């Protein structure tokens, strides 16, 4: 881009004041670029859309893609470009916080509204070249100004010092091809004008695609950019019997900022992973400072005085409750103050039965890898900021009418339809408006439904059926035992029963589906569910006309409790032995262990008795010795002393016998302990 290009419009007899804004606009127009219209759009559910643009590009001309600054990051990470001669490069102006603070030259900042002569006055000393009144002219800028004219208006004057040393005042209206002689200044002016042009639309960025090869070419660009997610909405015509009719519409917004003309449009069901990465902004790494060694000045060193024997001290420095609407269509009832007679002529005509829209869904569905795509066969037109409501499906689906009860805090179940996707296509999740042939029935939400999948949609409250829930008391049952290396494990099952009672006040049979929430750690015993979800079981219940039905749901939870056999008393072991769940082999092992424990207990009792006798005899022996010592020095008491001595001898003999008995009991107890430990170690069942 050259300054001459900027100055070409200034020749001629016009006396219009040239403003800098005009210069900027001319700079933008001087760089011609081909635009690539939108040809194809694919909208996803993850906040982005796929765009395909294509157009003809002349030889030597770049293709331009204009975006919001917030879109560039996604475009840069997804752009694909095709050109027959090849792509040389893609260029754009990045965001640089450091460069924005020091954009050159500062003389152009805030220069909008200046005349060209005043702008050039800021480049005093710069050499310029031009064609003046048909003759080449060169000189150094001395000054630039606007001068009043006798007949009104202003004239732009530029004072130059010519090579001859003389000064010349030039009328810029008579100058053409004006440019800086020094390439550096020429580039500086062009860059500054480009920066000012960018300031006119700071939220926009343009990508230029430079193609290789000679001659005109067809260039195609594909990329992802942020876009509103498309939304699906359905109409379900649900008859009393037979297949239901389903109609799907897609809501798509054109938020690109430009019109769509004959655009091929597709919508995709599924959410591929997408994320933001800031690629437009320049990133700078904070580097560490490192100086060469030996360059630092040597600082003085201070030597402090010592402290004799002193210690050195230091300092050390975070639900919206749904309201039941009026009953729809043929079921609606009118409150009447009294009986009203109607003649046949006064009766209102029967309403026309409900039908779906008179549209032909112009969308073809196909699998697109892990996703499912609906492509509209007719190109669409949409103005910028306009939304489209397009039919993408209409057909029959398998449906079953029933009631569903899943909220225990409510007494009434809901009318629901069990829909099976028999279309062979993926149905995107969205809102569902349900119609009966006689009229509106209610509304629901549905998740994405793959081909062959089944889903329940509830759309109205059935006030003629009431459901109550009762919890029976829990029962604890021992289910089994196991033992290994001295540890006895008991498995105990706790059972609980939940009884659902449904009352049907309407004079027709109904099918109720009870959804029982599954609790962590509990498993279902009975009855067998019709369907299991990640968090509940579903049980069908047939309700008779104006009658009631009950559904008991039995669950159980097993608890394991481990106990060391060594800590159990014989009586505690007897309680386990008497349990019917214990096998014969396990019972035999526990009985043997219990027998050893009883023998050890008996030995302990006998040992305690012997030790008590020894203590009593030892106390009596001490008393006799004291009496003998007292009477030995008393005259005439020798006979009594002899009797005490005889008793003392007999007591010593008894103590000796008891000590022998004590030793034998201790040996027996140790032997029994060894046998018991061996039995416990071998215990396993």
Task: Give the torsion through C-alpha atoms of 577, 582, 583, 587, to 10 deg.
Answer: -10
Establish if 305 belongs to a structural domain. Answer: no
Establish if 327 belongs to a structural domain. Answer: no
By the 8 A CB rule, do 502 and 404 touch?
no
**End residue of a domain, out of 542, 565, 588:** 565
Residues 129 and 22 in one domain: yes
CB-side exposure of 575: number of CA atoms within 13 Å?
A: 8
Higher pLDDT, 60 or 527: 527
Establish if 296 belongs to a structural domain. Answer: no
pLDDT of amino acid 462: 92
Residue found under tokens 């209102």 = 348
By the 8 A CB rule, do 162 and 121 touch?
no
Residues 390 and 457 in one domain: yes
Establish if 669 belongs to a structural domain. Answer: yes
- What three-state secondary structure class fits 405? strand
**What is the Cα–Cα distance from 246 to 265, expressed in whole angstroms?**
22
pLDDT of amino acid 18: 40
Establish if 262 belongs to a structural domain. Answer: yes
Q: Average pLDDT of the chain?
A: 80
Residues 174 and 116 in one domain: yes
pLDDT of amino acid 500: 94
DSSP 8-class letter at 573: H
Residues 440 and 488 in one domain: no
Establish if 283 belongs to a structural domain. Answer: no
pLDDT of amino acid 309: 40
**Per-residue pLDDT reduced to its tens digit, 19-68:** 344 444 334 444 578 889 999 999 999 899 999 999 999 888 899 999 98
Count of domains observed in the chain: 4
**End residue of a domain, out of 511, 532, 565:** 565
Straight-line distance from the first to the last Cα atom of the chain, in angstroms, rounded to the nearest whole number: 93
Residues 488 and 456 in one domain: no
Residues 403 and 390 in one domain: yes
User: Is pLDDT at 303 greater than 60 in this prediction?
Assistant: no
Confidence label for 310 from pLDDT (cuts 50, 70 and 90): very low
Q: Tokens for 589?
A: 């092992």
Establish if 278 belongs to a structural domain. Answer: no
Residues 500 and 481 in one domain: yes
Residues 664 and 637 in one domain: yes
User: Is pLDDT at 312 greater than 60 in this prediction?
Assistant: no
CATH number at residue 214: 2.30.30.520
**End residue of a domain, out of 565, 589, 621:** 565
pTM to 2 decimals?
Answer: 0.61
Cβ-proximal residues to 674 (8 Å cutoff; 6+ apart), any chain: none
User: Is pLDDT at 654 greater than 60 in this prediction?
Assistant: yes
Residues 535 and 675 in one domain: no
Residues 158 and 116 in one domain: yes
User: Is pLDDT at 541 greater than 60 in this prediction?
Assistant: yes
Q: At CB < 8 A and 24+ separation, what contacts does 673-680 make?
A: 673/600, 675/596, 676/593, 676/596, 676/597, 676/600, 679/589, 679/592, 679/593, 679/596, 680/486, 680/565, 680/566, 680/593
Residues 533 and 457 in one domain: no
Domain range holding 677? 570-682
Residues 250 and 176 in one domain: no
**Per-residue pLDDT reduced to its tens digit, 84-104:** 888 888 988 777 655 544 444
The phi and psi torsions of 148 (rounded to 5 degrees) equal -70, 150
By the 8 A CB rule, do 522 and 556 touch?
yes
Higher pLDDT, 630 or 292: 630
Establish if 588 belongs to a structural domain. Answer: yes
């Amino acid at each position: 881009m050259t300054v001459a290009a900027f100055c070409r419009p200034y020749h001629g007899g016009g006396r219009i004041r040239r403003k800098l804004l005009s210069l900027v606009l001319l700079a933008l127009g001087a760089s011609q670029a081909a635009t690539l219209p939108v040809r194809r759009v694919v909208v996803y559910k993850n906040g982005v859309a796929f765009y395909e643009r294509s157009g003809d590009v002349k030889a030597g001309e770049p293709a331009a893609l204009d975006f919001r600054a917030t879109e560039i990051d996604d475009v840069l990470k997804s752009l694909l470009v095709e050109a027959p001669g090849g792509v040389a490069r893609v260029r754009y102006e990045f965001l640089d916080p450091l460069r924005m603070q020091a954009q050159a030259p500062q003389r152009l900042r805030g220069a909008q509204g200046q005349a060209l002569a005043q702008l050039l006055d800021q480049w005093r000393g710069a050499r310029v070249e031009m064609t003046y009144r048909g003759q080449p002219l060169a000189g150094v800028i001395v000054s630039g100004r606007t001068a009043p004219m006798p007949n009104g208006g202003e004239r732009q004057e530029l004072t130059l010092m010519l090579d001859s040393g003389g000064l010349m005042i030039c009328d810029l209206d008579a100058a053409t091809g004006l440019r800086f002689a020094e390439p550096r200044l020429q580039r500086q002016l062009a860059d500054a004008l480009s920066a000012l042009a960018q300031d006119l639309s700071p939220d926009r960025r343009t990508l230029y695609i430079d193609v290789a090869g000679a001659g005109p070419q067809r260039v195609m660009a594909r990329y992802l950019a942020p876009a509103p997610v498309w939304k699906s909405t359905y109409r379900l015509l649900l008859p009393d019997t037979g297949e239901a009719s389903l109609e799907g519409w897609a809501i798509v917004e054109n938020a690109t900022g430009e019109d769509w003309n004959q655009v091929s449009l597709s919508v995709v069901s599924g959410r591929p992973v997408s994320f933001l990465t800031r690629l437009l902004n320049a990133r700078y790494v904070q580097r560490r400072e490192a100086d060469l060694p030996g360059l630092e000045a040597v600082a003085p060193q201070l030597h402090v005085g010592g402290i004799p024997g002193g210690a050195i001290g230091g300092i050390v420095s975070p639900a919206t409750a749904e309201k039941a609407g009026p009953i729809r269509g043929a079921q609606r009832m009118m409150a009447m103050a009294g009986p009203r007679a109607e003649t046949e002529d006064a009766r209102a005509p029967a309403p026309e039965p409900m039908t779906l829209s008179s549209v032909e869904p112009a969308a073809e569905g196909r699998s697109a890898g892990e996703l499912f795509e609906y492509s509209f066969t007719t190109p669409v037109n949409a103005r910028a900021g306009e939304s489209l409501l397009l039919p993408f499906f209409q057909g029959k689906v398998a449906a079953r009418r029933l009631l569903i009860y899943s909220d225990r805090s409510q007494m009434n179940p809901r009318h629901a339809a069990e829909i099976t996707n028999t279309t062979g296509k993926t149905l995107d999740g969205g809102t569902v408006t349900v119609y009966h042939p006689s009229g509106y029935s209610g509304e629901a939400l549905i998740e994405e439904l793959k081909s062959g999948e089944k889903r329940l949609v509830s759309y109205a409250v059935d006030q003629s059926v009431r459901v109550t829930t009762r919890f029976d008391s829990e029962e604890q049952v021992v289910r089994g035992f196991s033992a290994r290396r001295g540890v006895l494990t008991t498995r105990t099952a706790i059972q609980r029963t939940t009884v659902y009672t449904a009352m049907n006040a309407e004079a027709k049979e109904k099918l109720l589906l009870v959804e029982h929430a599954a609790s962590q750690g509990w498993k279902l015993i009975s009855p067998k569910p019709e369907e299991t979800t990640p968090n509940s079981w579903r049980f069908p219940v047939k309700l008779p006309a104006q009658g009631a039905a009950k559904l008991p749901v039995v669950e159980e939870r097993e608890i394991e409790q481990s106990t060391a056999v060594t800590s159990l008393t014989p009586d505690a072991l007897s309680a386990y032995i008497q349990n019917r769940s214990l096998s014969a082999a396990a019972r035999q092992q526990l009985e043997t262990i219990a027998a050893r424990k009883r023998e050890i207990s008996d030995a302990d009792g006998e040992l305690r008795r012997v030790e008590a006798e020894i203590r009593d005899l030892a106390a009596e022996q001490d008393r006799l010795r004291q009496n003998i010592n007292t009477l030995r020095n008393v005259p005439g008491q020798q006979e009594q002393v002899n009797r005490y001595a005889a008793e003392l001898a007999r007591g010593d003999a008894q103590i000796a016998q008891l000590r022998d008995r004590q030793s034998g009991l201790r040996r027996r107890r140790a032997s029994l302990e060894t046998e018991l430990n061996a039995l416990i170690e071998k215990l396993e069942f």
